[in-house]
Amino acid sequence: MQGNPRMNLPQLLPWMRNLLLGLFGLYVAELVLRNAGVNVYALAWHSLDSGFQPWQPLTRFLVQGDSTQAVLGGLITVYFFVPGVWQLTQGNQMRDAVIAAAIGASVAVFLVDIATTGGALVLGWPVLAIALVALFGLLAPDHTILLMFVLPVSGKMMLWGTLGISLIGFLISPSMASVQGLGAWLGVYGWWNFRGPGARRRTRINKSKVIERELRRFEVIEGGKSQGSQKPDEWIN
């Protein structure tokens, strides 16, 4: 993506199209099973004092519940952000960011569950779409997209705006379910700065500073020697 990327009607690679179809098909399959009387909510994440099972932190992503709006919102986010982020990333950065979001969301849910008496079931994959928005903001903070085809928003605004929305949602209704978004954002941001490109960039900057100091020291020593019998300190002064 060159210049200011605009994610209007992005061109989907075959695997991106299949991803969208698979996520939509997953929700359709859930609706069919629910209508057939299957208790799909056994896969959702229950609180520690209300039916928690070890597999639920993973299987909860397979169950979407009644929030059709959240599913459609997640699909729209994937549709618009996956192609743009894919062009900006290198290697497995997008995969790592999604994994970091899942880990961050799960840790946050556990902490709230331990600190409180639990709450609503935790379920749904759309919370992981936060990873795409946050990663775009980290990769291209100064780039601008047209949000909803109309509103120009920079990557930096999307990054911190996502954090603000997630934080407000949790403060309005603190629960296991509402803390997911905040945890997902923190997971991506932490991965970026401690394991991802941010950490590598910081390492390169620190190394360049060390090399620069050594070069300056070398130039001072060599410059002092070139003055014959004059002492380096006298030449410097």
For 93-152, what is each residue's pLDDT tens digit?
Answer: 999 999 999 999 999 999 999 988 767 799 999 999 999 999 999 999 988 887 666 778
Pick from 39-53, 125-139, 192-206, 221-235: least confident:
221-235
Q: Which of 209, 145, 160, 204 is nearest to 6 (CA)?
A: 145
Range of the domain at 225: 199-236
Residues 203 and 188 in one domain: no
Average of per-residue pLDDT across 185-192: 96
Indicate the range of 9-13, 173-177, 199-203, 231-235 predicted with least confidence: 231-235
Under a CB-based contact definition with an 8 Å cutoff, are residues 155 and 143 in contact?
Answer: yes
The pLDDT assigned to 219 comes to: 62
Higher pLDDT, 52 or 214: 52
CA distance linking residue 194 with residue 192, whole number of Å: 6
Please write the tens of the pLDDT for every residue from 150-164: 778 899 999 999 999
pLDDT at 3: 47
4, part of any domain: no
Answer for the pair 159, 193: CB distance below 8 angstroms, yes or no: no
Q: Is the domain of 150 the same as that of 117? A: yes
Looking at the fold, whether 69 and 124 belong to one and the same domain comes out as yes
Q: Answer whether residue 182 is part of any domain.
A: yes
Are 61 and 162 within one domain? Answer: yes
How many whole angstroms separate alpha carbon 82 and alpha carbon 118?
33
Task: Name the one residue in this structure whose structure tokens are 């004059």.
Answer: 230
In angstroms, the first-to-last Cα distance of the chain is 52
Same domain for 22 and 116, yes or no, is yes
Mean pLDDT for 186-205 is: 84
DSSP structural state of residue 179: T
Quick one: 170 and 222 in the same domain? no
pTM of the model: 0.80
Whole-number pLDDT of residue 213: 65
Is the residue at 8 inside a domain?
no
| Residues 47-79 pLDDT 10s | 998 889 999 999 999 999 988 999 999 999 999
How far apart (Å, rounded) are the C-alpha atoms in residues 120 and 226? 76
Q: What share of the chain is helix, strand, coil (3-state, %, to 5)?
A: 65, 5, 30
Q: Are residues 136 and 208 in the same domain?
A: no
Dist. CA 102–CA 57, nearest whole Å: 9
Closest CA to 140 of 159, 114, 127: 159
Q: What is the DSSP letter of 122?
A: B
CA distance 126 to 155: 20
61-75, 150-164, 166-180, 213-227: segment of lowest average pLDDT: 213-227
Mean pLDDT of 161-187: 93
- Do residue 73 and residue 154 come from a single domain? yes
Give the tens place of pLDDT for each residue, 2-23. 445 444 578 889 999 999 999 9
Tell whether the model's pLDDT for residue 197 goes beyond 70.
Answer: yes
Verify that 150 and 217 share a domain, yes or no: no
Which range among 56-65, 80-89, 193-202, 207-216 shows the weakest confidence by mean pLDDT? 207-216
One domain, residues 56 and 78? yes
Asked if 113 and 60 count as a contact pair (C-beta separation under 8 A), the reply is no
Structure tokens at 211: 């090399």
